[in-house]
Amino acid sequence: MKIQLSHGSGGKETQDLINSLIKKHLGNKILNKMEDSAVLKAPGKIAFTTDSFVVQPLFFPGGDIGKLALCGTVNDLAVMGAVPEHLSLSLIIEEGLDLKDLERILKSIARECQKGKFGIVCGDIKVVEKGKGDGLFINTSGIGRIKRKREMSISRVRPGHAILVNGQVGDHGASVLSRRNQLTAGASIKSDCAQLTPLIQSLLKSCCRIHAMRDATRGGLAAVANEMGSSSNVTVILQEKNIPVSRQVRGFCDLLGFSPYEMANEGKVVMAIDPRDAEKALGIMKDHALGSKAAIIGKAEKKGDFPAVMETKLGSRVILEMPGGEHLPRIC
Ligand code: MG
């Protein structure tokens, strides 16, 4: 069966879709009330974020648009030190989308909810005419609670701080690009799409002095290094030889002329840590499934001419530019 325009009309077919698919996979006490808005208790400090997902194709090795939407929103909360509690889910569906595909995506959303122990508490469904929506667009917003007193911010990187990443970079971008263009090259690369909350919470609970965190999504590692450098008025120096990149991603990028440092990730966090805690943080990450390939990849120095610089494998220093233009559209 396929999605029809009437599934977005707000009438009988919308109700049927909600009852047969949405409630079946995502139902919970708050969502099932079907009120105009979810009423939540949120004492203390909370983080709130939103993100839209237009990835093409909808399914790719290592994930799909549903898993991506959940992980993307959760990770924006996680890097602020928040534990996600409630998410919203808005679906903009193109007429003709196979109901089986929609159900597959909803199941993967449900799996992420279970993993992260949070629920979808409100949402919306719209249907647009065939040819006007590319299958499915998703918007998710999320609320998470911050228990930690010391704030983290990308404006808090100071000269001397160590820069760490929790693993190999570029997997998500390479995987989606390879699948979208049906390339043989890169066909074995899986997206790194994953919720970072458990890894980040173990680090925060260990009392490592972490001053800044950002998930390296669009624009990759290069964008985060530049954002940290610019916001904190320092120069971030990355050591190319220490940046983990898989052999497959390296080969894929060489072949197509991309930089793995500019490729999108969906399960990578870059952080600035007090140098006295860098080894300890590295050890904690390496003990974690999402951090086995973690590395100390550089440090912050006093502000120089550029916000981010790369020390190449040959020892020379080159500008690490903020990625410009749009070489990789619809990656998330
Ligand atoms: Mg982010």
Q: What is the pLDDT of residue 43?
A: 81
Read off the pLDDT of each residue in 136-161 and give the average, rounded to a whole number: 95
> How confident is residue 328, by pLDDT bands cut at 50, 70 and 90?
confident
CA of 79 to the centre of ligand 1 (A): 8
Per residue in 19-31, is it b (16+ CB within 10 Å) or e — as a string?
A: eebbeebbeeebb
Read off the pLDDT of each residue in 232-249 and give the average, rounded to a whole number: 98
Q: What is the pLDDT of residue 185?
A: 87
CA of 76 to the centre of ligand 1 (A): 5
CA of 25 to the centre of ligand 1 (A): 27
Q: Say if residue 11's pLDDT is above 90.
A: yes
Quote the CA–CA distance of 56 and 332 in Å, as a whole number.
8
The candidate with the shortest Cα–Cα distance to 138, out of 104, 91, 72, 75, is 91
Q: What is the pLDDT of residue 315?
A: 92
- Helix, strand, coil percentages (3-state) for the chain, rounded to 5, are 35, 25, 40
Kindly report, residue by residue over 22-51, the tens digit of the pLDDT: 999 999 999 999 999 999 987 889 999 999
CA of 270 to the centre of ligand 1 (A): 10
CA of 284 to the centre of ligand 1 (A): 22
CA of 35 to the centre of ligand 1 (A): 30
Quote the CA–CA distance of 273 and 291 in Å, as a whole number.
16
Kindly report, residue by residue over 249-288, the tens digit of the pLDDT: 999 999 999 999 999 999 999 999 999 999 999 999 999 9
Q: What is the mean pLDDT of the chain?
A: 96
Kindly report, residue by residue over 82-119, the tens digit of the pLDDT: 999 999 999 999 999 999 999 999 999 999 999 999 99
CA of 217 to the centre of ligand 1 (A): 7
* Peptide bond between residue 84 and the one before it cis (omega within 30 degrees of 0): no
How large is the C-alpha radius of gyration of the chain? 21
CA of 77 to the centre of ligand 1 (A): 8
Ion ligand 1, residue ranges at CB < 5 A: 76, 215
Read off the pLDDT of each residue in 211-230 and give the average, rounded to a whole number: 97
The candidate with the shortest Cα–Cα distance to 51, out of 27, 75, 81, is 75
Quote the CA–CA distance of 324 and 321 in Å, as a whole number.
8
> How confident is residue 208, by pLDDT bands cut at 50, 70 and 90?
confident
